[in-house]
Amino acid sequence: MPSKGKHRRTKARSITRGFIAVGTGGAALVLPLMGATTAGAAQPAAAPKAVAPAAVKAAPKTYSVVAGDSLSKIAAAHSLSGWKELYEDNRAVIGDKPSLIHPGLKLTIGAKAKAPAKPAAKATPAADRADRSQTRAAVAKTTTYTNDLDGWIKESLAIMAKHGIPGTYEGIHRNIMRESSGNPRAINNWDSNAVAGTPSKGLLQVIAPTFAAYHVPGTSMDSYDPVANITAACNYAADRYGSIDNVNGPY
Which pLDDT band, with edges at 50, 70 and 90, does 84 fall under? confident
Mean pLDDT computed over 112-131: 58
- Tell how far CA 131 is from the center of its chain: 42
Q: How far apart, in whole angstroms, are the C-alpha atoms of residue 16 and residue 36?
A: 7
Q: Which long-range contacts (CB under 8 A, 24 or more apart) does 210-214 make?
A: 210/236, 214/239
Could you tell me the residue ranges of all domains in the chain? 61-109, 146-246
Most confident region among 7-21, 42-56, 63-77, 137-151 by mean pLDDT: 63-77
Distance CA 84, CA 70 (A): 11
- Over residues 16-45, the pLDDT tens digits come to 444 444 444 444 444 444 444 444 444 555
- What CATH number should be reported for the domain whose range is 146-246? 1.10.530.10
**241: burial class by Cβ within 10 Å (0-12, 13-18, 19+)?**
middle
Domains 61-109 and 146-246 share a fold: no
Domain 61-109 in CATH: superfamily? LysM domain (3.10.350.10)
Most distant CA pair in the chain: distance in Å?
A: 143
